[in-house]
Amino acid sequence: MNSQIRMFGVVGVLAIFSVAAQASPAPQAGNTSNGQKVFAAQKCDGCHGLKGEGGAGDAGGPQIAPPPVSLPMFLNTVRNPKDPMPAFSKEQVSDAELTDVYAFLKSIGGSASAQASAAQPAAGNAVNGKRIYAMAGCYECHDNEGQGGAGTGPRLAPPIGFAGFIHQLRSPSDEMPPYTSKVLSDAEVADIYAYLQSVPKAPALASIPLLK
């Protein structure tokens, strides 16, 4: 029975960056030149591409330039990734080196304006997005409000940066089936994104007696 669930496995970027994407804090100081060296030395390009564009190698790792999450989340994900990304311990690569990598990825993620425009879609319609989310079958793996499904799809709400989101949708890594622009327009994707942004936050863990 579990072999059927494994067919869907754990999805690339949406699994790896499954905790809410936050507005990036003021960038930490990082050495982009050293970051480029570390990026190559640790063979990150093997899955994420030479320019962090994603889709390289058998695993087809997600796009990470520009990084779709904050530096703390980036560090946490590298240390405690989900399948199939291997974990990188502090002995392998230090926090300082990862900060340099982060700076490198930000620097190659395109121009500031391109980054800005890639980071946010055109204003989407959340009501229509909810309809499309159901129609297109997103709920099947990610559940009805993007809360994530057991063994299938990770949590989507709130979503990661739009650039990473649409990239994963169009050219997914791992098991997720692709949604090309032939079946889902950019405008429809923007609406789904708006819907996911509108999903109310989960209640605080401390407020739930059954989970204490």
Which residue matches tokens 């500031």?
Answer: 112
Q: Distance between CA atoms of 141 and 92, rounded to whole angstroms?
A: 34
Q: How far apart are CA 63 and CA 93, in angstroms?
A: 20
Q: For residues 139 and 132, is the Cβ–Cβ distance under 8 A?
A: no
Residue 130 binding another protein, by CB under 8 A: no
In this chain, which of 110, 128, 149, 170 binds another protein, going by CB under 8 A?
Answer: 149
Judged by CB under 8 A, which of 13, 69, 105, 157 binds another protein? 157
Helix, strand, coil shares of the chain as percentages rounded to 5? 45, 0, 55
Stretch that binds another protein, among 25-33, 99-107, 108-116, 198-206 (CB under 8 A): 198-206
Query: Residues 84-113 vs another protein: string with x where CB under 8 A?
Result: x-xx--------------------------
Beta strands in the chain (DSSP E): none
- If we measure between CA atoms, which residue out of 119, 202, 125 comes closest to residue 158? 202
Of 1 and 123, nearer to another protein (C-beta) is 1
Greatest CA span in the chain, whole angstroms? 49
Q: Is 54 in the site for another protein (CB under 8 A)?
A: no
Q: Does 3 bind another protein (CB under 8 A)?
A: yes
Residue 188 within binding range of another protein, rule CB under 8 A: no
Q: Does residue 178 interact with another protein by CB under 8 A?
A: yes
Instruction: Give every CB contact of residue 36 below 8 A, 6+ residues apart in sequence.
Output: 104
Residues that bind another protein (CB under 8 A): 1-4, 6-9, 58-59, 81-84, 86-87, 135-137, 139-141, 143-145, 147-153, 155, 157, 174-175, 177-180, 182-184, 202-205, 208, 210-211
